[in-house]
């Protein structure tokens, strides 16, 4: 036994030495040349060795020749660095306009830019384009890279871009909201039609200006299309202004019934989102042909905002059968029945919703003083499959990339290695990843079917990242902080949003810098937010700041974390008397409504993961103005039980049941340390 332990320790030390040597060699390779080779001695059997030469070649791409690249491709076929190098070298050959080497190396399926480069090579050789063979697939894309511009211009000069084809592309771009594509395509239309196309682009880019100009437009098919589009777009931004424009233009243009319905729907829905006083009446009065699931949903939300409980029931009854059965609408149906004194009916509906593990399921359970539904399972051990997974070269590369701090490339290797894997293989791969601290693999893999019951894997407790002590130091509930983190990044430490929010708790660098300064914490720039410990330290302080602004209210602070505190202030000013469940249901932004619901639900799950019990969700959602404070662990708590016989399905060979009231949280935390 002691000899085995010593061998394992030696093997781990050797692997750590290889990782350190690889990182040094990779830094050298990324500077180009062959200097990396000296530092890479002893790494030829290391799983990531092929990445070294690829990094060097990528740096020197403008000087590299085709034989050098092809030698690497032959040596490491089917590897991700090889496919990246081939794609990048083809782009370099196109830049050089070395069409001979480009054609020799090119193969279809490498993306639109290279497809267009291949057509440029064809044109350079004197060949003509054939629309169906060469352009039809590209033409169906609503937007194309700049590499396609010379190809499309050549197609126009060859007479292939007929007005009918151009208009079909413009119509597709309209549906996709691609104004730039419309503007670029208009130059291929006859002069008398180009202006009409630009009207459509303006309707997308500046609907208010388009509607002012529309007073001078002729009443034809394309003008009516542009006006309809502009009205629908402007309604989203300025419902009142759009309403005025509709009153002025509806008599000037002969809109089709479908166009009229689209405008009426947009005006009604966005007046509701703006909480105009007559919005509920407008939604009720919408013609049946103008109603959509969204308009029917907003009809109920407006009734909830008015606490018009009969209108709530009527609005839910007006929904389609599938929409009615959503747990949100069943919950509010029970809520309305209870408010109308129909307690027995309400309790029956609450009972059906309370059987679900969800935000609305737990709200319903609180109305019944019932336990929370949670069927916790864990995957069964499978040593043979586990060893088979560890033998997959791509998985070994993925684990090494994650270990050296390159999760983006690790995910690429993972996805390629498991692209055609069966469920048992994926399951064991996820377990192995979790053991290595790679928690987001479970979040993304176990998101449907029986795997939803793998709560310990789907809601990990990463004690090494310091969330619990950091949350406690910040004076906030660790379960809530975990819930925010889980919703924000799904445990991807390198997550980055389009707005440049970064890391586990998705902080903007500017926000993080302010938080660090306010709390006397070190700040080492935006990239430091990809370090989990730094991100969590700053993220918990920012959460505490949001909670303090809203009197400790977790649900309002959650909304502010997503939509901004200023917007939440506006909503509170307008609807502060609404109970929390109604307030959340009437938040204008779908993303924020769902965000708050997920955070509050996940907070319950994490409370259970941390303590084996959970504070009722209602104790986390106190009325506006009522201070919130709680002990950790909570004094009042709910039991979590598996109420359904369907647990038998989840306890097949794929899963072993675990008692919900005594979860695997404690041993899991010990392992994660």
Residues acting as catalytic residues: 488
Q: Which residue blocks in 158-256 are alpha helix, DSSP H?
A: 163-176, 179-186, 191-205, 207-213, 221-237, 239-249
Handedness of CA 572, 577, 579, 581 (dihedral sign): negative
d(CA 50, CA 85): 12
The 3-state secondary structure of 342-377 reads CHHHHHHHHHHHHCCCCHHHHHHHHHHCCCEECCCE
Cβ burial 334-349 (10 Å sphere, 16+ → b, else e): bbbbbbeebeeebbeb
The whole-angstrom distance between residue 449's C-alpha and the CA centroid of its chain comes to: 20
On whether the CB atoms of residues 543 and 565 are closer than 8 A, the answer is no
Alpha carbon distance 141, 116 (integer Å): 13
The dihedral sign for the CA sequence 207, 209, 212, 214 = negative
Residue 82 φ/ψ, nearest 5 degrees = -70, -45
Distance between CA 573 and CA 589 in Å, rounded?
Answer: 17
Question: Residue 162 CA to chain centroid, in angstroms?
Answer: 39
Q: With beta carbons less than 8 A apart as the criterion, state whether 54 and 72 touch.
A: yes
Largest CA distance in the chain: 90
Q: Are 379 and 633 in contact (CB under 8 A)?
A: no
Is residue 139 a contact partner of residue 164, using CB atoms and an 8 Å limit?
A: no
Neighbours of 494 (CB within 10 A): 17
Is the distance from CB of 516 to CB of 538 less than 8 angstroms? yes
The pair of structure tokens assigned to 485 is 């983190």
Q: Which residues have a Cβ under 8 Å from the Cβ of 490 and sit 6 or more positions away?
A: 440, 443, 444
Task: Count the helix, strand and coil residues of the chain and give each as a percent rounded to the nearest 5.
Answer: 65, 0, 30
What lies within 8 Å, CB to CB, of 648 at 6+ separation is none
Residue 58: C-alpha distances to residues 47, 53, 63, 235 (Å): 19, 9, 10, 49
Nearest to 581 by CA among 621, 547, 553, 619: 621
Cα–Cα distance between 112 and 149 in angstroms, integer? Answer: 12
| Residue of 143, 142, 156 lying closest to 187 (CA atoms) | 156
CA pair distance 89, 55, nearest whole angstrom = 13
């Amino acid at each position: 036994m002691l000899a085995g332990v010593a061998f394992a320790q030696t093997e781990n030390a050797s692997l750590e030495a290889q990782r350190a040597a690889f990182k040094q060699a990779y830094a050298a390779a990324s500077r180009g040349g062959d200097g990396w080779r000296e530092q890479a001695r002893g790494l030829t059997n290391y799983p990531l060795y092929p990445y070294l030469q690829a990094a060097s070649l990528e740096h020197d791409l403008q000087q590299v020749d085709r034989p050098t690249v092809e030698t690497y491709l032959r040596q490491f076929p089917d590897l991700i660095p090889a496919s990246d190098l081939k794609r990048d070298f083809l782009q370099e050959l196109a830049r050089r306009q070395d069409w001979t080497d480009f054609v020799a190396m090119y193969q279809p399926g490498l993306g639109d830019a290279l497809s267009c480069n291949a057509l440029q090579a064809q044109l350079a050789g004197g060949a003509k384009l054939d629309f169906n063979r060469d352009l039809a697939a590209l033409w169906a894309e609503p937007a194309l890279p700049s590499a396609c511009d010379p190809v499309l211009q050549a197609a126009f000069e060859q007479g292939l871009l007929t007005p009918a084809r151009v208009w079909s592309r413009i119509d597709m771009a309209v549906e996709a909201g691609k104004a730039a594509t419309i503007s670029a395509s208009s130059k291929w239309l006859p002069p008398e039609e180009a202006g009409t196309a630009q009207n459509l682009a303006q309707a997308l880019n500046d609907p208010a200006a388009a509607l002012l100009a529309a007073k001078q437009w002729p009443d034809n098919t394309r003008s009516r299309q542009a006006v309809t589009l502009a009205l629908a777009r402007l309604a989203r931004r300025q419902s009142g202004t759009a309403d005025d424009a509709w009153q002025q233009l509806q008599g000037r243009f002969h809109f089709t019934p479908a166009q009229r319905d689209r405008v009426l729907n947009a005006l009604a829905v966005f007046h509701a989102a703006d909480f105009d006083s007559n919005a509920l009446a407008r939604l009720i009065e919408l013609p049946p042909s103008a109603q959509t699931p969204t308009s029917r949903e907003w009809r109920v939300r407006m009734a909830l905002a008015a606490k018009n409980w009969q209108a709530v029931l009527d609005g839910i009854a007006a929904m389609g059968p599938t929409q009615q059965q959503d747990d949100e609408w069943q919950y509010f149906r029970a809520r309305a029945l209870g408010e109308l004194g129909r307690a027995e009916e309400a309790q029956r509906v609450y009972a059906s919703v309370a059987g679900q593990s969800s935000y609305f399921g737990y709200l319903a359970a609180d109305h019944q003083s019932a336990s929370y539904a949670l069927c916790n399972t864990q995957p069964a051990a499978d040593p043979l499959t586990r060893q088979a997974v560890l033998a997959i070269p791509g998985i070994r590369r993925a684990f090494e990339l994650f270990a050296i701090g390159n999760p983006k490339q690790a995910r690429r290797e993972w996805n390629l290695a498991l692209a055609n894997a069966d469920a048992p293989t994926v399951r064991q791969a996820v377990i192995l990843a979790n053991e290595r601290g790679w928690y987001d693999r479970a979040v993304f893999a176990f998101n449907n079917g029986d795997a939803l019951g793998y709560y310990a894997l789907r809601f990990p407790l990463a004690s090494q990242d310091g969330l619990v002590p950091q949350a406690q130091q910040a004076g906030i509930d660790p379960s809530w902080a975990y819930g925010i983190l889980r919703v924000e990044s799904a445990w991807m430490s390198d997550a980055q949003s389009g707005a440049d929010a970064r890391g586990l708790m998705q902080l903007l660098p500017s926000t993080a810098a302010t938080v660090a300064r306010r709390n006397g914490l070190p700040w080492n720039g935006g990239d430091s937010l990809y370090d989990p410990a730094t991100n969590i330290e700053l993220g918990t302080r920012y959460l505490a700041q949001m909670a303090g602004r809203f009197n400790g209210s977790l649900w309002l602070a959650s909304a502010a974390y997503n939509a901004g505190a200023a917007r939440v202030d506006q909503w509170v000013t307008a609807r502060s008397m609404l109970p929390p469940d109604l307030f959340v249901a009437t938040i204008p932004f779908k993303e924020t409504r769902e965000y708050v619901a997920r955070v509050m639900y996940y907070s319950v799950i994490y409370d259970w993961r941390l303590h084996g019990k959970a504070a009722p969700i209602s104790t986390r959602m106190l009325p506006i103005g009522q201070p919130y404070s709680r002990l950790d662990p909570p004094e009042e708590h709910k039991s979590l039980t598996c109420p359904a016989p369907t647990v038998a399905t989840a306890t097949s060979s794929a899963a072993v049941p675990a008692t919900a009231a005594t979860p695997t949280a404690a041993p899991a935390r010990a392992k994660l340390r």
